[in-house]
């Protein structure tokens, strides 16, 4: 039997005595008796979210956070399933609806201030209380994406959705990866409807209470929603609410729903100058600490699907264990093409080189990176944030493998400690990338994925499929297309000059450090 203390952070190891998230766990920092289901693809998650919110009634509670929110995004594709309509209907039924949406920067920087403000304004006009939250470190964001739904008369139906999927354009894609019918431009390589790969999890059981506590801590922060006086004046002119209302008293945790052990990991930055979050004084870096502890247990395979996988900090987490365990492999699936263009792309490539290049030097032949394409060979934007260690420890959240996510922005990830869950998640993701989902439906997961049951075998299967597809494309795409969507991702080739000038925008803007100075100096979390 796996001992959770060997893999998960204790309350002391979380390193944040200010939080209430572990108050019901004693010296531990996890809950037992949960049931967790991965929801792969935005279309899958949005349908479940729609059904769950529509099933709420008077006195129930819906709490949500978002990095980007588009009011008109249709959760099912049908008229009337727009995010704003679904939440407004819940409010009219007597459901208590509260939301925290990152205020965002101005649109000219490539972010989504108009969309986020529009969602908040529309929901406020319809009675729901959604606040635009800019209580962040300079240049940072609230990046958490979760929804909590609680039923005051039937707690067995309570659910929390945690992961990397915003209720926004581009996200409602499925396994075909033809893109969301409501697109938002990415880079030209992704076409007019960018294919999008993402993952969320549905949690039932006592851990729902923990996710709710994360929301309540942020909601109750007494700091002004924005420190900028011009923003406060503009909000007042538009009639936007800037004062969080009192939330209903928190109910006890839902009853046990399964056998999964769940731990929540978070990032909050050090705000400095006496501006600490009351629930994370000096910040919280349990995401980084949790990854580091799990990787120290790895012996066979660390499998990562991520938006970035950047930087020296990421490489350091893996280096020692790769040296210690000669049979350990690291497989990384990230976007084939970064999401910025021109000179802005170079810092992202430098970030990749710092992590993947360094680990390739440390463990030649044991660290491989892949991108994804759809059947039209259009790149798929990998936005998932999933990590699976030795088919035992599996995380899904909002955080990327980057210093920004580990120190600077607010993040939330849910770790499931369960061997069957972790293995099935790995095999299900692999089945999609190898073009075997139809066979899984017909024959079952184990029968279809027999050549990938052993992690070392999956490493070889991935390499073989990617090599065949790469060769077919290089030869002009003649004859039958090989099965699969994997393409080997070459190490970025940057000149010495590019590395020099790209260091500053990478370290200061794209991948900044939000740790207190002492931890930054010692390279600790």
CA 147 to chain centroid, in Å, comes to 13
Alpha helices in 80-137 (DSSP H): 83-92, 113-125
- Distances in Å between the Cα of 70 and the Cα atoms of 101, 123, 194, 318, 460 are 11, 11, 16, 37, 41
Cα separation, 106 vs 110, in Å, equals 8
Cα separation, 524 vs 270, in Å, equals 14
Contacts of 447 (CB under 8 A, 6+ apart): none
Contacts of 175 (CB under 8 A, 6+ apart): 40, 41, 432, 437
Instruction: Of 357, 381, 361, 195, give the one whose Cα is nearest residue 305.
Output: 381
Query: What residue segments make up the domains of the chain, in order of their start?
Result: 22-262
CA 161 to chain centroid, in Å, comes to 11
Q: What local confidence, expressed as pLDDT, does residue 115 receive?
A: 61
Q: Residue 127, SS3?
A: coil
Instruction: Of 451, 445, 459, give the one whose Cα is nearest residue 38.
Output: 445
Cα separation, 476 vs 465, in Å, equals 17
Q: What local confidence, expressed as pLDDT, does residue 230 receive?
A: 73
Contact criterion met (CB below 8 Å) for 300 and 329: yes
- Give the β-pairing of 159-163 and 367-373: unpaired
Q: Residue 75, SS3?
A: coil
Residue written as token pair 């699976």? 388
In the chain, the N- to C-terminal Cα span, in Å, equals 29
Tokens of 177: 């990866």
pLDDT tens profile 333-376:
999 999 999 999 999 999 999 999 999 999 999 999 999 999 99
Cα separation, 241 vs 120, in Å, equals 9
Q: What local confidence, expressed as pLDDT, does residue 110 receive?
A: 53
Residues making up the chain, counted from first to last: 525
Contact criterion met (CB below 8 Å) for 279 and 267: no
Tell me yes or no: is domain 22-262 CATH 3.30.70.1280. Answer: no
Q: How confident is the model at residue 466 (pLDDT cuts 50, 70, 90)?
A: very high
Q: What local confidence, expressed as pLDDT, does residue 108 receive?
A: 41
Report whether pLDDT(107) > 70: no
Contacts of 21 (CB under 8 A, 6+ apart): 29, 210, 213, 214, 217, 264, 266
Q: Using CA atoms of 212, 214, 216, 217 in order, give the dihedral in degrees to the nearest 10.
A: 160
Q: What local confidence, expressed as pLDDT, does residue 118 receive?
A: 72
Q: What is the pTM of this model?
A: 0.96
Cα separation, 241 vs 260, in Å, equals 39
Report whether pLDDT(286) > 50: yes
Contacts of 355 (CB under 8 A, 6+ apart): 309, 310, 311, 312, 314, 315, 401
Write out the H or E segment, with its range, that includes residue 202.
strand 199-204
Q: What local confidence, expressed as pLDDT, does residue 233 receive?
A: 75
Cα separation, 203 vs 264, in Å, equals 11
Instruction: Of 353, 307, 368, give the one whose Cα is nearest residue 494.
Output: 353
What sign does the dihedral 10-331-501-104 (CA atoms) show? negative
Q: What is the largest CA-CA distance in the chain?
A: 65
pLDDT tens profile 225-255:
887 777 777 777 777 777 888 999 999 999 9
Q: Residue 149, SS3?
A: strand
In degrees rounded to 5, what are phi and psi of residue 102? -55, 135
Query: Mean pLDDT score of the chain, rounded to an integer?
Result: 94
Q: What local confidence, expressed as pLDDT, does residue 244 receive?
A: 85
CA 81 to chain centroid, in Å, comes to 24
Alpha helices in 170-220 (DSSP H): 207-219
Instruction: Of 401, 419, 183, 407, give the one whose Cα is nearest residue 310.
Output: 401
pLDDT tens profile 48-84:
999 999 999 999 999 999 998 899 999 999 999 999 9
Q: Stretch 162-189: mean pLDDT, rounded?
A: 96
């Amino acid at each position: 039997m796996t001992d959770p203390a060997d893999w998960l952070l204790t309350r002391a190891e979380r390193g944040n005595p200010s939080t209430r998230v572990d108050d019901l766990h004693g010296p531990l920092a996890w809950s037992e008796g949960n049931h967790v289901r991965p929801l792969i693809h935005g279309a899958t998650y949005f349908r479940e979210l729609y059904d769950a919110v529509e099933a709420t009634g008077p006195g129930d509670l819906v709490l949500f956070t978002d990095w980007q929110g588009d009011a008109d995004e249709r959760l099912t594709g049908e008229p009337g399933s727009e995010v704003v309509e679904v939440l407004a209907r819940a409010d009219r039924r007597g459901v208590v609806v509260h939301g925290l949406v990152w205020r965002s920067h101005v649109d000219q920087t490539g972010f989504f201030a108009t969309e986020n403000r529009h969602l908040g304004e529309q929901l406020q006009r319809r009675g729901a209380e959604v606040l635009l939250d800019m209580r962040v470190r300079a240049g940072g964001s609230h990046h958490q994406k979760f929804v909590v739904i609680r039923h005051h008369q039937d707690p067995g139906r309570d659910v929390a959705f945690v992961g990397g999927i915003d209720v926004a354009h581009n996200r409602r894609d499925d396994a075909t990866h033809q893109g969301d019918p409501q697109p938002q431009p990415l880079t030209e390589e992704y076409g007019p409807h960018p294919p999008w790969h993402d993952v969320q999890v549905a949690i039932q059981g006592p851990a729902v209470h923990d996710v709710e506590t994360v929301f309540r801590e942020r909601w109750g922060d007494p700091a002004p929603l924005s420190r900028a006086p011009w923003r406060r004046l503009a909000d007042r002119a538009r009639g936007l609410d800037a004062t969080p209302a009192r939330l209903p008293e928190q109910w006890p945790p839902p009853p046990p729903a399964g056998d999964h052990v769940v731990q929540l990991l978070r990032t909050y930055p050090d705000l400095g100058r006496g501006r600490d979050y009351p629930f994370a004084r000096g910040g919280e870096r349990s995401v980084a600490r949790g990854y580091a502890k799990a990787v120290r247990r790895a012996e066979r395979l660390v499998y990562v699907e991520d938006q970035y996988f950047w930087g020296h900090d990421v490489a350091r987490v893996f280096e020692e264990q790769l040296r210690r365990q000669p049979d350990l492999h690291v497989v990384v699936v990230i976007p084939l093409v970064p999401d910025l263009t021109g000179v802005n792309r170079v810092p992202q490539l430098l970030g990749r080189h710092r992590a993947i290049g360094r680990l390739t030097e440390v463990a030649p032949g044991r660290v491989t990176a892949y991108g994804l394409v759809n059947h039209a060979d259009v790149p798929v934007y990998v936005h998932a944030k999933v990590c699976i260690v030795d088919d035992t420890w599996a995380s899904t959240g909002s955080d990327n493998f980057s210093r920004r996510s580990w120190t600077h922005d607010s993040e939330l990830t849910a770790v499931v400690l369960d061997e069957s869950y972790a293995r099935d998640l790995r095999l299900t993701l692999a089945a999609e990338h190898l073009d075997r989902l139809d066979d899984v439906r017909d024959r079952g997961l184990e029968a279809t994925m027999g050549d990938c049951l052993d992690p070392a075998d999956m490493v070889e299967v991935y390499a073989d499929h990617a090599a065949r597809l790469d060769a077919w494309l290089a030869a002009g795409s003649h004859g039958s297309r090989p099965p699969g969507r994997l393409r080997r991702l070459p190490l970025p080739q940057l000149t010495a000059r590019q590395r020099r000038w790209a260091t500053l925008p990478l370290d200061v803007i794209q991948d900044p450090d939000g740790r207190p100075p002492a931890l930054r100096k010692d390279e600790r979390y």
